Amino acid sequence: MLGPVSAGDTPIPSAGEDSPPLLPAVPGSDAQAVDAPDGVPELPPIVYPPISEIPPEESLEEPGVVAPDQPGDAGPQQPPGVAGPIKGAIGWGRTVELTPPGVRGVVRIVADKPIGARLIVSSDAPAPLPPGLAAFAPLVSVDCSSPGQVSQLFVNLAAADGVCAASNASKLGIYAYDDANGWTRFPEQEYDAATGVHTAVDDSPRTYALLGPQELLVSGGGS
């Protein structure tokens, strides 16, 4: 059984049904750099490419399928504290852009060859979060049919509604988890104050979380 996503009994919040549409922050936008907290290991920096070099959606080898696994299911309406992970959108191609169900976020996967990709949203973390940190959105895992073919993975995440004051949102950051490195924070990421979106670039599919100091959680904001 996977461990809790945060220290103590702090739940992971879920995005409300009325969340505004998410506009992914991209390299070159009006964004703010965010520093990592002391004592948290950082991933090696990844060079942000010009947006013109990102393959367009038309490069898909086959029409992408962006739909929940269950027909007619528009995504989870319950908070992510329910038992078991929630399988999200799926797609196929060299460039696949997916929206995790119940999360204000977008994940764009760029691969050397056409691959299948799926997002999984869960309230359970694969390991305890770093001390003093809490999740401000459900966790998103990226599952690919050929992980070694992934060249770049753009992760865009925003805090769930009502869990963090807008004035504190820039203090949050995107973290990634894998078995070899545990939780690590991306040293180079951007925050767009206009949309509330945090953006990081990875080079392999992992589990991603939007984390920040526990004291920034708005009382009663989590589900």
Residues in the chain: 223
Q: How far is CA 17 from the centre of its chain?
A: 18
- Residuewise pLDDT in 10s, the chain (223 residues): 333 344 444 445 544 444 444 444 444 444 444 455 555 555 555 444 443 444 443 333 333 333 333 333 333 333 333 335 676 779 999 999 999 988 999 999 999 999 999 999 998 899 999 999 999 999 999 999 999 999 999 999 999 999 999 999 999 999 999 999 999 999 999 999 999 999 999 999 999 999 999 999 997 555 4
- pTM score, two decimals? 0.65
Collapsed DSSP state (helix, strand, coil) of residue 51: helix
Collapsed DSSP state (helix, strand, coil) of residue 135: strand
Domains and CATH numbers, the chain: 3-216 (2.60.220)
Find tokens 């009006």 and name the residue. Answer: 30
